[in-house]
Amino acid sequence: MLRALLLENLHPFAKSILAAQGIEVITRTGALDESELIDALQGVQLLGIRSKTHVTEKVLACSPDLIAVGAYCIGTNQINLAAAAKRGVAAFNAPFSNTRSVVEVALADMIALTRRLTVLDKSMHAGVWDKTSEGAHEIRGRTLGIIGYGNIGTQLSVLAENLGMSVVFFDTAEKLALGNAQRMETLDELLAAADIVTLHVDGRDGNAGLFGAKQFAQMRPGAVFLNLSRGFVVDYAALAESIQSGHVSGAAVDVFPVEPKRRGDAFESELRGLPNVILTPHTGGSTEEAQAAIGQFTSNKLRDYVATGTTTLSVNVPNLALEQTTGIHRLAHLHRNTPGVLAAVNAVLASHGVNIEGQMLATRGELGYVVTDVSAEITSDAVEELTQMSQTVRLRLLS
């Protein structure tokens, strides 16, 4: 029986889908550090995590039973994808499932900050009736600057226009503008034009330190800043200074360079206690609807990989969309992408009298993936010969 370890309080769907496949599922509510994870993964084939558990090269090297990792979130920067691929560990994520949740909270943050609801709320709780329109604005007619025009950025763009905003965006990749959104050629142009600046970039290393003192200084006086992307892309000390000086009138931050592992742990930040600042504990995509969708999507990917070898939307191995087996057995062969591998696999099968019913091959960089359906039982000698091929990374025999 296969075993799965699910961490970080995943939605019940994550467990039930795998369990229905006959997989033994172990669940834990919190994240694990490197040594804890290594211990927990002994005898485990499938791992499910969110953003706080890091699957390092050492974890992968010490977990020979592991065949797949599911990131029950958008990002995968917490997984060493290259090291996983080299060991034949497929990785999957949920790139679209919580898009709407993040977009909605971004809109809520923008409205709350431009109306200074945080300041008014604090005064009311302190027993002070401070009725004033000073510093409060509508978002209608204001310009939203979106940095990162991917799934979240584009949906936010459309909804912001429906609220009467003008939208400008900047992305390092060529992106088609939706609606009346206008592409800015440089980040400097966007900062000069926007009343509200929101970050929706991915977790690639090149985005580290993207936004610092220079960028805050280039923002319009009184502009609002949001980061619901990655904590390490922003210099929060510089943001705190900009808020204290009044240059930035408000900020909403959902992600931080260092985040507590477990619910209830202590949280420290230079942004705590500042006026008109909304701090949330990495909950941009944490709605019940989004977590249910993520649980279904990622567990379905893991289930399908185990059952049929399907790797569609894997982020680190070649992608193949596969149905149920057409023969008696299915061989899923991850290998180093060198010439002659397919011929070598077929030669081994032929030498053992195994007839091929169907076969598919895909490559991705240095990795290849060939899936072969055969019409006869495969002997242990044939399996051993395929396993010992110099190009073999991982061989799985699926009934």
Residue 323 is a catalytic residue: no
Of the residues 259, 336, 352, 396, which is catalytic? 259
Contacts of 156 (CB under 8 A, 6+ apart): 103, 106, 107, 144, 146, 198, 200
Q: In what order do the strands lie in the sheet with 166-170?
A: 182-183, 166-170, 143-147, 196-199, 223-227, 248-253, 277-279
Of the residues 11, 100, 115, 282, which is catalytic? 282
Taking only Cα atoms into account, the Rg of the chain, rounded to an integer number of angstroms, comes to 25
Contacts of 325 (CB under 8 A, 6+ apart): 308, 373, 398, 399
Residue 259 is a catalytic residue: yes
Using alpha carbons, select from 148, 122, 129 the residue that is nearest to residue 229.
Answer: 148
Residue 289 is a catalytic residue: no
Compute the Cα dihedral for 73, 78, 82, 88 and give only its sign.
negative
Distance CA 38, CA 58 (A): 8
162: which 2 tokens? 């429906």
Reported in sequence order, the residue ranges of the chain that DSSP labels E, i.e. its strands, are 3-6, 24-27, 46-49, 68-71, 90-92, 143-147, 166-170, 182-183, 196-199, 223-227, 248-253, 277-279, 329-336, 356-364, 367-374, 392-398
Of the residues 11, 230, 303, 335, which is catalytic? 230
Contacts of 47 (CB under 8 A, 6+ apart): 4, 5, 6, 7, 41, 55, 66, 68, 69, 70
The dihedrals phi and psi of 390, each to the nearest 5 degrees, come to: -60, -25
Q: Give 197's strand partners.
A: 145, 225
The dihedrals phi and psi of 229, each to the nearest 5 degrees, come to: -110, -85
Q: What is the DSSP letter of 233?
A: G
Catalytically annotated residues: 230, 259, 282
